[in-house]
């Protein structure tokens, strides 16, 4: 008999209990909420800035991004945004992917968000600190 | 207790999403997820845009041209709506996390409110943008 | 448009089902085929068409959707009355669970016109035409409208739904103030019909590990009972990315509860208690 087709003979209670409680999960839930609270003002500020700068040329945009407030808030936005994105996408992957691909996908998302946040921050610093 | 017939014919699974009625609850929830995924894509575009800006005007120009093209504007309009819907939906979720607003009446009023607010905010954003000189 | 209580049936619906193919992603043994059209009753003036999910485990066939014409002048006002009329007058093999016929035992929970409810407390006059009756969503079907609830009850057993104490038993009652007793109002009344769990999309996709609204509501019932002394252990058992945190506050549960209870709120209270114990 093919071992892959062997019936699951666990009791219903054993199936429901699975591997037991991980005894953790509140950390990720809380972090998603904290990053969300940070994103409300930061994202609104960003949207308002973009709208206010509609039609401005490259030079005006750079001058604005060089100001300390804009540079600092943009970096904070990137941190909050990619932290929130990584946590959110991880939850989506865990919901729908149930094979071993799940772990690869979660790692890819986390590392990708770190890389993108770093790239964005370096770009902002390059603009803000250059003359 | 009868064993589950996995070697003999398995029992059929009753239909779920194929027949369950879409309600404001489930529709707004899946929209919050879809807009979140769209915004993740926008986050990538944001970084591309910033890196292009840091690289100099010759790198920035094609990125800016792509955003300003007619297809870029349509995408940007959709992204703006996705942004406001996810923002308002997110605030609704934060309120629920304080264990407020769980009566059905509140759920439905807040639900319709965020749809209306998102539409209004999207239109307002684009009108203001047009007035600013877009 | 604004639903004030769960027994309100939406008059207007933009979409009766999500816009996906009928047998989308469905395993071959679960595909629903076209079924029998049973003869209409003679001489009936007021009839209503019911489309009912049928499955016979002994026939070797796939499930199908049968069409029945029910004589409304010959049967009572509730959906359960229509099912009993069909069983008595048309097809005696139609199988469904039922007991109290007054909305308290939870036996006749099923999917009626796309949402889960008790057949004995749903008026026929509130139904669409044709009315569609399916078993509770996302469960293995034993026969016709009878789902296998074994896994759901096993998840219920996993939260240890009984009073757990360490203090020695008192001489008489375990004391509880009126205010403390009010804390379990809205939770102890659950009849374990599983309409909520069966309607939860998160439980559809992760029902093997996610406990679902019914079980989590009962978990809250024991957490908020002042006489219980095992809060730490209960919270430890619930704090899991799947057991508790697959809940994304979709709120189909609160919308569909035939007893007007609020599982969504109960789960939010559990999540709040999780934060409170570490801050």
Domain at B46, CATH number:
1.20.1300.10
The three-point CA angle C156-C158-C160 to 5° equals 85
Measured torsion, CA atoms of residues A24, A29, A32, A36, in degrees rounded to the nearest 10: -150
Give me the mean pLDDT over the C188-203 stretch.
Answer: 98
- For residue C114 the two structure tokens come to 């796309």
Looking at residue A130, what is its pLDDT?
85
Q: How is B11-76 classified by DSSP, letter by letter?
A: PPBPPSTTTSPP-HHHHHHHHHHHHHHHHHHHHHHHHHHHHHHHH-HHHHHHHHHHHHSHHHHHHH
**Is residue B54 a part of any domain in this protein?**
yes
- Domain co-membership, C155 together with C265: yes
Confidence of residue C177 (pLDDT cuts 50, 70, 90): very high
The arithmetic mean of pLDDT across residues C14-39, rounded, is 89
- C-alpha–C-alpha distance, residues C239 and A106, integer Å: 20
* Any B CB within 8 A of C250 CB: yes
Looking at the fold, whether C237 and C208 belong to one and the same domain comes out as yes
Give the model's confidence band at A55: pLDDT under 50 very low, under 70 low, under 90 confident, else very high: confident
Specify the range with the lowest mean pLDDT, choosing from A38-47, B50-59, C248-257: B50-59
Domain membership flag for residue B38: yes
For residue C264, the tally of other CB atoms under 10 A from its CB is 27
Are residues C212 and C97 part of one domain? no
Per-residue pLDDT, B4: 52
Provide the domain limits for residue B99: 24-132
Distance from CA of A1 to the nearest CA of C (A): 22
Cβ <8 Å between B57 and A58 = yes
**Which residue among C208, C239, C248 places its CB closest to the CB of A25?**
C239
pLDDT greater at residue C172 or residue B132: C172
Angstrom CA distances, A83 to A112, A118, B45, B75, stand at: 11, 12, 16, 24
Q: Inter-chain contact A26–C150, Cβ cutoff 8 Å? A: no
The residue among A7, A12, A87 with the most chain C CBs within 10 A of its CB, best to mutate, is A12
Would residue C6 count as lying in a domain?
no
pLDDT higher than threshold 90 for residue A1 = no
Backbone torsions φ then ψ of B27, nearest 5 degrees: -70, -45
Distances (CA, A) of B10 to B6, C117, C140, C151: 5, 26, 9, 16
Chain A residues whose beta carbon lies within 8 Å of the beta carbon of residue C207: none
Is 60 exceeded by the pLDDT of residue B2?
no
Same domain for C241 and C160: yes
Distance from CA of B28 to the nearest CA of C (A): 8
- Sorted by where each begins, the domain ranges of chain A are 25-129
**Which other chains touch chain B, taking contact as 3+ CB pairs less than 8 Å apart?**
A, C
Predicted local distance difference test score (pLDDT) of residue C110: 98
The answer to the question of residue B19 being in a domain is no
Structural domain count, chain C:
2
Residue C8 is assigned to a structural domain of this protein: no
Torsion angle of the four alpha carbons C110, C111, C116, C120, in this order, in degrees rounded to the nearest 10: -50
What backbone phi and psi angles, to 5 degrees, belong to C197? -60, -40
pLDDT in tens, C115-131: 999 999 999 999 999 99
User: pTM value?
Assistant: 0.95
pLDDT of C41 > 80? The answer is: yes
Residue C240 and residue C261 in one domain? yes
Tell me which residue in A8, A44, A51 faces B132 most closely, judged by beta carbons: A51
Which residues form the domain of C67?
28-147
| Res B6 pLDDT > 60 | no
Residue C236 in contact with residue C278, Cβ under 8 Å?
Answer: no
The arithmetic mean of pLDDT across residues B27-39, rounded, is 98
pLDDT of residue C255: 97
Residues C126 and C159 grouped into a single domain: no
Q: In chain B, which residue's Cα lies nearest the Cα of C254?
A: B104
Query: Which chain B positions have a beta carbon within 8 Å of A33's beta carbon?
Result: 94, 97
Cα separation of B104 and C3, whole Å? 6
- The answer to whether residue B39 neighbours chain A at the CB level (below 8 Å) is yes
Task: Scan residues 21-80 of A and list those with Cβ closer than 8 Å to C.
Answer: 21-26, 28-30
ipTM tops 0.90:
yes
The model's pLDDT over A69-114, given as tens digits with 9 standing for 90+, comes to 999 999 999 999 999 999 999 999 999 999 999 999 999 999 999 9
The model's confidence at residue A40, banded by pLDDT at 50, 70 and 90, is very high
Residues C184 and C248 in one domain: yes
Q: What is the pLDDT of residue A4?
A: 66
Work out how many domains chain B is built from and give that number: 1
Q: Which chain C residues are Cβ-neighbours of A37 within 8 angstroms?
A: none
* Statement to judge: residues C123 and C62 lie in one domain: yes
Structural contact between residues B104 and C252, judged by C-beta atoms closer than 8 angstroms: no
pLDDT of B102 above 60: yes
Q: Do B44 and A7 touch (CB under 8 A)?
A: no
C156 shares a domain with C138: no
Residues of C in contact with A23 (CB under 8 A): 236, 239-240
Q: Does the beta carbon of A10 lie under 8 angstroms from any beta carbon of chain B?
A: no
Question: Token pair for residue C35?
Answer: 């079924």
Distance CA A61, CA A77 (A): 17
Mean pLDDT of C80-106: 97
CA distance A127 to B53: 8
In a domain, B8, yes or no: no
Q: What CATH number has the domain bearing residue C215? A: 1.10.1060.10
Mean pLDDT of the residues in chain B: 93
CA distance C251 to chain B (A): 6
Cβ neighbours around C30 below 10 Å, total: 20
Question: What average pLDDT does range B92-110 have in this prediction?
Answer: 98
Torsion, Cα of C78, C84, C88, C92 (10° steps): 140
Q: Is residue C141 located within the same domain as residue C51? A: yes
Question: CB contacts < 8 Å between A and C, how many?
Answer: 59
- By the 10 Å C-beta count (0-12 exposed, 13-18 middle, 19+ buried), B88 is classed as buried
Q: Does A116 touch chain B (CB under 8 A)?
A: yes
CB atoms B47 and A78 under 8 Å: yes
Q: Tell me, yes or no, whether B16 lies in a domain.
A: no
Residue at B2 is within a domain: no
Alpha helices in C46-115 (DSSP H): 79-89
Q: Does the beta carbon of B16 lie under 8 angstroms from any beta carbon of chain A?
A: no
In chain A, the residue whose alpha carbon lies closest to the alpha carbon of C207 is A16
The side-by-side arrangement of strands in the sheet containing C131-134 is: C33-37, C64-71, C47-54, C131-134, C109-112, C115-118
Q: Give dist(CA B130, CA B126) in Å, integer.
A: 6
Same domain, C41 and C156: no
Q: How far apart are CA B100 and CA B89, in angstroms?
A: 15
Confidence label for C262 from pLDDT (cuts 50, 70 and 90): very high
Three-class SS state of C159: coil
Whether C155 and C120 share a structural domain: no
DSSP string, chain A: --GGG------HHHHHHTT---S--HHHHHHHHHHHHHHHHHHHHHHHHHHHTTT--HHHHHHHHHSHHHHHHHHHHHHHHHHHHHHHHHHHHHHH--STHHHHHHHHHHHHHHHHHHHHHHHHHHHHH--
Residues of C in contact with A17 (CB under 8 A): 158
CATH 1.20.1300.10 is right for the domain spanning A25-129: yes
B13 found inside a domain: no
What is the nearest CA distance from C238 to chain A, expressed in angstroms? 7
Cβ-Cβ contacts under 8 Å, B98 against chain C? 272
pLDDT of residue A6: 75
Contact C240 A23 (CB under 8 A): yes
Q: Sort out which chain C residues have CB atoms less than 8 A from B34's CB and list them.
A: none
| Mean pLDDT (whole number) for C92-112 | 98
Say what the pLDDT of residue C12 is. Answer: 75
- Residue B11 forms part of a structural domain: no
The CATH number for C78's domain is: 3.10.20.30
A19 near B CB under 8 A:
no
Q: Are C268 and A33 in contact (CB under 8 A)?
A: no
Q: Would the pLDDT of A3 be above 70? A: no
């Amino acid at each position: 008999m093919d071992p892959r087709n062997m019936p699951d003979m666990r009791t219903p209670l054993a199936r429901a209990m699975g591997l037991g409680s991980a005894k953790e999960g509140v950390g990720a839930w809380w972090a998603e909420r904290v990053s969300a609270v940070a994103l409300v003002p930061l994202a609104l500020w960003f949207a308002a800035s973009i709208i206010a700068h509609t039609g401005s040329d490259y030079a005006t945009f750079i001058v604005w991004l060089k100001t300390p407030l804009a540079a600092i808030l943009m970096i904070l936005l990137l941190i909050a945004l990619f932290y929130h994105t990584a946590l959110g996408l991880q939850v989506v992957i865990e919901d729908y992917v149930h094979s071993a691909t799940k772990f690869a996908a979660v790692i890819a998302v986390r590392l990708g968000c770190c890389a993108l946040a770093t790239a964005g921050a370096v770009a902002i610093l390059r603009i803000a600190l250059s003359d | 207790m009868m064993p589950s017939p996995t070697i003999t014919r398995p029992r059929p699974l009753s239909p779920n999403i194929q027949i369950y009625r879409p309600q404001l609850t489930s529709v707004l929830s899946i929209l919050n997820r879809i807009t979140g995924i769209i915004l993740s894509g926008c986050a990538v575009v944001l970084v591309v845009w910033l890196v292009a800006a840091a690289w100099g005007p010759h790198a920035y120009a094609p990125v800016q041209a792509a955003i300003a093209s007619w297809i870029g504007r349509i995408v940007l309009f959709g992204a703006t709506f996705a942004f406001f819907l996810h923002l308002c939906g997110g605030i609704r979720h934060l309120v629920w996390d304080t264990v407020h607003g769980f009566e059905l009446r509140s759920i439905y009023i807040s639900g319709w409110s965020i749809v209306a607010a998102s539409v209004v905010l999207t239109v307002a954003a684009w009108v203001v943008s047009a007035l600013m000189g877009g | 448009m604004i639903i004030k209580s769960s027994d309100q049936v939406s008059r207007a619906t933009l979409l009766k089902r999500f816009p996906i193919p009928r047998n989308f992603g469905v395993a071959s043994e679960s595909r629903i085929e076209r079924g029998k059209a049973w003869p209409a009753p003679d001489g009936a003036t007021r009839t209503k068409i019911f489309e009912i999910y049928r499955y016979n485990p002994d026939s070797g066939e796939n499930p199908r959707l049968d069409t029945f014409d029910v004589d409304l002048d010959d049967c009572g006002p509730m959906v359960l009355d229509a099912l009993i009329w069909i069983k008595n007058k048309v097809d005696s093999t139609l199988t469904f669970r039922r007991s109290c016929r007054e909305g308290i035992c939870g036996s006749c929970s099923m999917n009626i016109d796309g949402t889960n409810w008790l057949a004995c407390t749903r008026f026929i006059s509130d139904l669409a035409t044709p009315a569609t009756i399916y078993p509770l969503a996302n469960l293995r079907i034993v026969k016709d409208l009878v789902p296998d609830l074994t896994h759901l009850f096993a998840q219920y057993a996993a939260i240890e739904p009984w009073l757990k104490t360490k203090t020695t038993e008192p001489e008489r009652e375990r004391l509880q103030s009126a205010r403390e007793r009010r804390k379990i109002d809205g939770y102890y009344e659950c009849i374990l019909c599983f309409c909520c769990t069966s309607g939860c999309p998160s439980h559809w996709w992760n029902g093997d590990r996610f406990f679902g609204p019914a079980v989590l509501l009962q978990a809250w019932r024991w957490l908020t009972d002042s006489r219980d002394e095992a809060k730490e252990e209960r919270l430890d058992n619930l704090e899991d990315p799947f057991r508790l945190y697959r809940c994304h506050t979709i709120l189909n549960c609160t919308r569909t509860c035939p007893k007007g209870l609020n599982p969504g709120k109960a789960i939010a209270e559990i999540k709040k208690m999780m934060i409170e114990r570490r801050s």
